[in-house]
Structure 1
Amino acid sequence: MTQALPPRSHLHRLTAPEAFWWSTGIEDTFITAPHPVTGRTLDEYELTGHYDRWHGDLGLVAELAVPCARYGVPWHRIQPTATTWDWTFPDETLERLLDLGVDPQVDLVHYGLPAWIEGAFLHPDYPKLVSDYAARLAERFRGRITWYTPLNEPRITGWYCGRLGWWPPFRRSWPGFVALMLAIAKGMVETVKALESVDPEIVPYFVDATDLFDTDDPAFEDEARRRQDIVFLALDLVSGRIDERHSLWDWLLKNGAREADLAYFLDNAVALPVIGMNLYPMFTQKKLLRDAGGRFRIRMPYAGADLITRLGRLYYERYGAPLMISETASMGSLRRRLDWLDASVAATRQLREDGIPLVGYTWWPMFALVTWAYRQGNRPVTEHLAQMGLWDIVPDEADPLRRVRTSGVDIYRRLVQGGAESVGRLSQVPSRAAAAL
């Protein structure tokens, strides 16, 4: 069995000229609550057949020759009731990755929770429940798996659960969003504490969606700035950056946060050893425009690769930590996807030439995903496939979820085999990144 090198040791080499972490992943959104009208849930592993095909799918990961891969584990299956644990799936899949020589970057929570946690993230015991689950998993792989994402995209989780009301606990207000963000962030802090108590070599890998808000309308400049500050809210909370001087302090108190809630994060701040940026050319750019009634609306234009250079500089200036592109892909034709791969790798190279420690790149998802609209719709899974991967899912009579290899596999594999040379060596080790290690 291959034993993964402990990434705490890797952290001291993250900004070395020869270091770069190519990665991939399989979409792992887990929304276990049935839609009130359609009755559908949204478990991507089930919908794409991964629960049955995991052995072969993980073989595709190895085919790319990546040294690591983001991989989610389904908490709702591991702990189907408050007192029942079933470790079969993570034991089999994570061991398979390790046997293949791929370091798992484990996604502990990807939007959804076990249905028995009433109130979801607002359950009063949620921080304890999630940290206990994390510690139990870490103990099973102590010394062999040391990359863990406490919770993928906390802001998007807070938005869909607290502001839009699509997912449990179905809040639909800014106070709902704030309540969710505080609970989610506290769960992340307690998870990090629990992981590090099991194994001090564990690397918390903080992954969030990285929207960029812009406007050409002076009337909406303040709103654009506030929305941009909200993009950083989760990381600012967990790293203890929000006090009376923070731009969102008054806004948070206005929307239901208590000073005691915010003091918890100042007293329990955790380090950000590496930050993952999830970004997509079709989703990440947000433009505030005036609608017919004079109010603002948000448009998402397809962005160029300067998206990456802008975000990289913005995040490094704010946090001074090594960065990874933890998710990126384009959607649609293979030509469009490969054009984005070329452009985004070039932007990665530019940031590294500028001395920004962008030390990893993840093409996500590895194969097609099922769009979130499936849960509230009535069309079959095959009509909700978003082709974003290096493999397509192309149904036929024999196999409705057939994985079809594209030329992107060989192109990405060549990039991976080139290591850091594919993106250029980091020009220097910036002092802020070195201090973060």
Structure 2
Amino acid sequence: MAKSFLTHIKDNFGDGLYEGDEYGGAAGHDGSGLPTGNAGNFMFATGIECSYPTIAGGTIRRDLLAETDHYARYKEDLALVKELGLKVLRYNLPYYLIHQAPGRFDWEFADKAMAEIKRLGITPILDLMHFGVPDWIGNFQNPELPVHFAEYCGAVARRYPWVRFYTPVNEIYVTARASAKDGIWNEQLKDDRAFITAMKHIAAASIMGNQQIAKYRPDCVIVQSESAEYVHEMRAVPTPEICLLNKLRFLSLDLLYAHPIDSEVLIYCLDNGLTRQELDWFMAGEPPGYQIMGNDYYGRNERIIKPNGDWCAAEDVLGWYTMTRQYYERYRKPVMHTETNTFNAKDAECWLWKQWVNVQRIRQDGVPVVGFTWYSLLDQLDWDISLAEKRLAVNACGLYDLDRKIRPVGESYKMMIREFGQITIMPHGEMFEFTTRPATLKVEK
């Protein structure tokens, strides 16, 4: 009887584990191991909390880098990023301190921090405006903001030409709302016209800043971090106010990405100071560079409003998966989970893994998610009251506490990074790299 073809194969090549299998084949690498820094790696990241709005009528500057002692301990903090096994860090250069006047900059701290980041081999996603502006600019009602901010962005890109990843303005929608609609920060207004004024000035600043970055770094990657939010209204007949609120969450990205604006939102904008000429300018086209849509999600981003008007938390009713899917289907941009945490340290480990399950599931369903961020490296202060007062109450949401001692969620994040750190930005993404290296990843994550 003739031998089976399998017998011939075994006689000539052995019983499985064939030579060549290691190159992305049946015995290929499964994506585990610490990130290598390869451009194809999925971007596991953390961030160093850096907000600096003014409160109390502009008399108090909340600078979280100062309040968490980062200016004095920046080398120690950056070493913690390395200790976690991370290669990517959302990092802010304090705009309000650096840009001292038109054409005048103080780079002293920025130069030291950036040199250390470069020395450690960390890839920064440089955040250039985080909830505040220099005193001499005033606030977000200033129509000169886009011009001044563009100058700053160009100066940063020239000074650090090795940086490719940027977030020009962190959370445009949150910045405008908290400053001009909720009355918490900066101009502290509670006015629809002030809100739209702030929104258009900040969005224009981001676009012009992006343009200047691209001028000096044409291959720039722009990670636009924005808060994913939703209000669940538990009334038989929804109110116009909540319906509008749930549509306004898209406005910053609509302006940024030149996406047609919902008719109700457009009427609201035009009624509150957006001109046809300004609208045409925003809708002319997308900013330059490679655009990644960053979706920030905290359980507190979802809220339920009861029939009597009372509010309650709605953590994970939609969750990051469903909310991000809404944003992705609207804008069709690669996605990064750019912020998450929980204020309850006991829940943090479980929250971390739940967010990672969301990321894995949405990737399996075809949405290109390129990175994940636990925000932030260290515990924060007063974010339970949105920095509205300077109480200096600790929010235990960091991977490390303010004594730089690792928290259980930090150990869990280390475990996650060791397990998944070499998965590719997109399944089978290695096939698109022009390189002499062999493929290393077979399984999808």
TM range (shorter): 0.7 to 0.9
Equivalent residue in structure 2 for 1:256, among 229, 251, 273: 273
Equivalent residue in structure 2 for 1:361, among 367, 372, 385: 372
CA shift at 1:115, angstroms?
Answer: 0.5
Distance 1:425 1:141, change over 3 A: closer
Contact 1:391 1:406 (C-alpha < 8 Å) held by counterparts: yes
What is the letter of the counterpart of residue 61 of structure 1? V
Deviates more, 1:61-70 or 1:214-223: 214-223
What is the letter of the counterpart of residue 29 of structure 1? S
The answer to whether the aligner puts 1:236 opposite 2:254 as a matched pair is yes
The CA distance in 2 between the partners of 1:406 and 1:238, in whole Å, is 37
The answer to whether the aligner puts 1:301 opposite 2:276 as a matched pair is no
1:174 match:
192
How many residues get paired? Answer: 392
The answer to whether the aligner puts 1:88 opposite 2:88 as a matched pair is no
Contact 1:368 1:392 (C-alpha < 8 Å) held by counterparts: yes
The structure having more radius of gyration, on CA atoms, is 2
TM-score of the aligned structures, taking structure 1 as reference length: 0.83
CA shift at 1:417, angstroms?
Answer: 2.8
- Secondary structure, aligned partner of 1:121: coil
Contact 2:57 2:186 (C-alpha < 8 Å) held by counterparts: no
The answer to whether the aligner puts 1:386 opposite 2:392 as a matched pair is no
User: Following superposition of structure 1 onto structure 2, how do residues 100-115 of structure 1 map, counting pairs within 5 Å?
Assistant: 100-115=120-135
Equivalent residue in structure 1 for 2:155, among 118, 136, 141: 136
Distance 1:406 1:170, change over 3 A: closer
Equivalent residue in structure 1 for 2:216, among 198, 203, 207: 198
The answer to whether the aligner puts 1:49 opposite 2:69 as a matched pair is yes
Q: What residue ranges of structure 2 are gaps of 5+ in the alignment?
A: 1-36, 431-445
User: Following superposition of structure 1 onto structure 2, how do residues 33-432 of structure 1 map, counting pairs within 5 Å?
Assistant: 33=54, 35-36=56-57, 39-118=59-138, 120-142=139-161, 144-220=162-238, 222-242=240-260, 246-270=263-287, 273-281=291-299, 283-291=300-308, 296=309, 298-303=311-316, 306-333=318-345, 335-372=346-383, 373=385, 377=389, 379=391, 381=392, 384-393=393-402, 402-419=403-420, 426=427
TM-score of the aligned structures, taking structure 2 as reference length: 0.82
- Secondary structure, aligned partner of 2:303: strand
The CA distance in 2 between the partners of 1:209 and 1:24, in whole Å, is 16
- Secondary structure, aligned partner of 1:286: strand
CA shift at 1:255, angstroms?
Answer: 2.1
What is the letter of the counterpart of residue 288 of structure 1? I
CA shift at 1:132, angstroms?
Answer: 0.5
The CA distance in 1 between the partners of 2:87 and 2:240, in whole Å, is 43
Distance 1:146 1:421, change over 3 A: closer
Post-superposition Cα deviations, 1:247-303, rounded to whole Å, max 9, x if no partner, equal: 42112112222111211101253267201111111x111223222xxxx45433333
What is the letter of the counterpart of residue 325 of structure 1? H
The CA distance in 2 between the partners of 1:322 and 1:374, in whole Å, is 29
Deviates more, 1:39-48 or 1:103-112: 39-48
Q: What residue ranges of structure 1 are gaps of 5+ in the alignment?
A: 1-6, 14-18, 394-401, 430-437
Distance 1:241 1:424, change over 3 A: closer
Contact 2:45 2:86 (C-alpha < 8 Å) held by counterparts: yes
Distance 1:249 1:161, change over 3 A: same
CA shift at 1:169, angstroms?
Answer: 2.3
The CA distance in 2 between the partners of 1:376 and 1:319, in whole Å, is 33
The answer to whether the aligner puts 1:22 opposite 2:44 as a matched pair is yes
The CA distance in 2 between the partners of 1:140 and 1:285, in whole Å, is 40
Distance 1:265 1:377, change over 3 A: closer
CA shift at 1:78, angstroms?
Answer: 0.9
The CA distance in 2 between the partners of 1:347 and 1:376, in whole Å, is 31
CA shift at 1:409, angstroms?
Answer: 2.5
- Secondary structure, aligned partner of 2:401: strand
Deviates more, 1:101-110 or 1:223-232: 223-232
- Secondary structure, aligned partner of 1:112: coil
Post-superposition Cα deviations, 1:320-352, rounded to whole Å, max 9, x if no partner, equal: 11101100011122x300010111111111111
Identity %: 24
